[in-house]
Structure 1
Amino acid sequence: MPRIITLTPNPALDYAVHADFVDPNRKLRCRDPQTHPGGGGINVARAASRLGAHALAIFTAGGVYGDALVKAIATENVPMRMIPITGGTRLAFHVSNHRDNNEYRFNLPGAEMSDAELNRFFDAVREETDPDDFVVASGSLPPGTPEDFWAQIARIVKEKKARFVLDSISGLEAALAEGVYMLRQNEFEYPALSGETLSWPDEINAFAQKAVADGLAEAMVISHGADGSIMATKDGLDFAPSYKVRANSAVGAGDSFVGGLLTALSRGESNENALKFGMAAAGATRMSEGTALFKTADVIRLYETGSVRGG
């Protein structure tokens, strides 16, 4: 079974708390602190590993938060390759506001990478990637990163005869010009490519199919919130609805979707079933508190029955 290798040059240590209310100029009493590994690719690897896939997280880490990040990933037994950097790993702070039933997310900037650190990251991708692996570029890039960072990664992945999955809006045009196996966008991201907001489902379906026909990617995946997700390939269009769950937090749901989707594809599942499995992972993560990802049993129950009741 191919590996799911995730790339996170700008990870974070996620710190989440609950507050009875959030008001300006007030001292806020917080409770129930949680700490989890963060960053798009790391979350994809956590999700895929939790679902039984062969995963590897390649990421940078530095400073006190970087040390905590490495320990948190090790606690979850996610295979990893850490690229040490001189700068410090960033902190992402999440506050659940119980009075208004919403959440606040504060993301700090990451540290710039030196040329030597960038080259070590590229070398790690080159050394770890085997033919047919899924290599997932996910999340933001650190300040000062070259615009063609993902394009350079795409070139390496192509040389290794693996499959490059782009789940990032950073350096998008350069990466697409280099060649992408799968492009994943959500409802807020695809307008940068389409030039406008499109209606669901007809216009979005047509846009995704045209993107594949024009060679933008071999597979175009668009997640559209509560409406569900679609995947366009040369073989046609597949759709999976969103699962109705009692949501507590949306943090990590998109990354869980990608992890579930690729886990199913790595097992040889159909595109339709893979989309459905990805949506189950996303739904189960939305049920979790703060920055926690899904419980595996909830993913399985959603996928098989459409409900988590009885568990």
Structure 2
Amino acid sequence: MSTSSLPPIVTVTLNPALDVSTSVDRVVSRHKLRCDAPRVEAGGGGVNVARTIVALGGAATPVYTVGGLTGERYRLLLHQEGLPGVPIPIGGETRESISVGDRSQGDQYRFVFPGPTVTAEECRRCLDAAVELLRPGGYLVASGSLPPGAPESFYADAVRLAKQRGARCAIDAYGSALTLALAAGPDLVKQSVRELGELTGRELSTIELQDAALHELLDGSSVGAIALSLGAAGAALAIRGEAQVLRAPAFPVAERSTVGAGDAFLGAFVLRTVQGRSTGEALRAALAAGSAVAASVGTTAPHRELVERLEREG
């Protein structure tokens, strides 16, 4: 099936970030740390998802907010990347996020700011612009943190509006915004094991506990499926109406950065789903894309050749 014949995939990012990444010999307190030249890239949940989909040969339109000088730089970077999407102007300044690698320990330190305060009208314009691009059979991916001022119902509203357009909806969120979205019944929810533990209030240290938590969420909502990323342990997929939780092992890669790996996981899963692949194939593609990004530095798209090779080997 050609890209042009696939249902449209639209992503919405209410709180994008200009990602600044660098590294030092060692992170120590109270000293000037001489950093490598910084990498500056346009990041944020839905934008990273769209970047992955395009890198893997699909088509996706990111809808995102931009404001101030940082926002203008953000928009320009995406345009230069060939992923302009639909920028929605806001009054506040687009945030930055900082990642610092410690070469001596192989660790990465990530500093994430809350973002600008947004108005209800700005949120509505962003979501309306995304929904307007949907068509029956399409897919809306709403992901990332919510900035100050955003209504906690934002993701639940995204689910309801997507359904009204006859489209599917995937959510990657946390906290009360996720709880409200679950009640709206998204087709797919993406979680890390840490996020799932926080949502259920449990320590999910075993497969049995993870499976029980996944089924509990499905039974207590109208969510279609939950994709659970488990880092080095791979991933799991729980589907409504199916007793068996599908699991797949991780691909062995040398991890260099976790920035954007979860977004790549979600983007590849949605793309393969829209392409009509099986759930098992979609899960392997998600793991391959997440691993490819984790093996890179900064906010980057997974290399298509590497992802497809890992898919074949998996």
Q: CA deviation at 1:208?
A: 2.0
Does residue 186 of structure 1 match 2:192?
Answer: yes
Q: Deviations over 1:205-232 (max 9, x none)?
A: 2332343344441111111111111112
Q: Deviations over 1:246-271 (max 9, x none)?
A: 11111111111001111111110000
Who is 2:201 aligned against? Answer: 195
Tell me, in whole angstroms, the C-alpha distance in 2 between the residues paired with 1:53 and 1:79: 15
Matches within 5 A, 1:58-97: 58-97=63-102
Who is 2:33 aligned against? Answer: 28
Matches within 5 A, 1:1-311: 1-170=6-175, 171-233=177-239, 234-235=241-242, 236-305=244-313
Structure 1 27/195 Cα, relative in aligned 2: closer, same or farther at 3 Å?
closer
CA contact (8 A) 1:19 1:98 kept: yes
- Structure 1 range deviating more: 234-243 or 271-280: 234-243
Q: CA deviation at 1:119?
A: 2.3
Q: CA deviation at 1:34?
A: 0.9
Tell me, in whole angstroms, the C-alpha distance in 2 between the residues paired with 1:34 and 1:140: 22
SS in structure 1 at match of 2:77: helix
SS in structure 2 at match of 1:184: strand
Tell me, in whole angstroms, the C-alpha distance in 1 between the residues paired with 2:179 and 2:221: 13
Who is 2:3 aligned against? Answer: none
Number of positions where the alignment pairs a residue of Structure 1 with one of Structure 2: 306
Tell me, in whole angstroms, the C-alpha distance in 1 between the residues paired with 2:27 and 2:285: 36
CA contact (8 A) 1:91 1:108 kept: yes
Tell me, in whole angstroms, the C-alpha distance in 1 between the residues paired with 2:209 and 2:281: 23
Structure 1 28/199 Cα, relative in aligned 2: closer, same or farther at 3 Å?
closer
Q: CA deviation at 1:147?
A: 1.5
CA contact (8 A) 2:120 2:151 kept: no
SS in structure 2 at match of 1:247: coil
Tell me, in whole angstroms, the C-alpha distance in 2 between the residues paired with 1:82 and 1:50: 20
RMSD: 1.6
* Identity score, percent: 37
Who is 1:309 aligned against? Answer: none
Which blocks of at least 5 consecutive residues in structure 2 are unaligned?
A: 1-5
Tell me, in whole angstroms, the C-alpha distance in 2 between the residues paired with 1:173 and 1:183: 11
**Structure 1 residue ranges (4+ consecutive) displaced by more than 4 angstroms after TM superposition:** none
Q: CA deviation at 1:188?
A: 0.6
TM-score (norm 2): 0.92
What letter corresponds to residue 248 of structure 2 in structure 1? Answer: A
Q: CA deviation at 1:127?
A: 1.2
CA contact (8 A) 2:168 2:186 kept: yes
What letter corresponds to residue 158 of structure 1 in structure 2? Answer: K
CA contact (8 A) 2:13 2:44 kept: yes
Tell me, in whole angstroms, the C-alpha distance in 2 between the residues paired with 1:25 and 1:193: 36
What letter corresponds to residue 222 of structure 1 in structure 2? Answer: L
Which blocks of at least 5 consecutive residues in structure 1 are unaligned?
A: 307-311
TM-score (norm 1): 0.93
Q: CA deviation at 1:85?
A: 0.5
SS in structure 2 at match of 1:122: helix
What letter corresponds to residue 197 of structure 1 in structure 2? Answer: E
SS in structure 2 at match of 1:302: helix
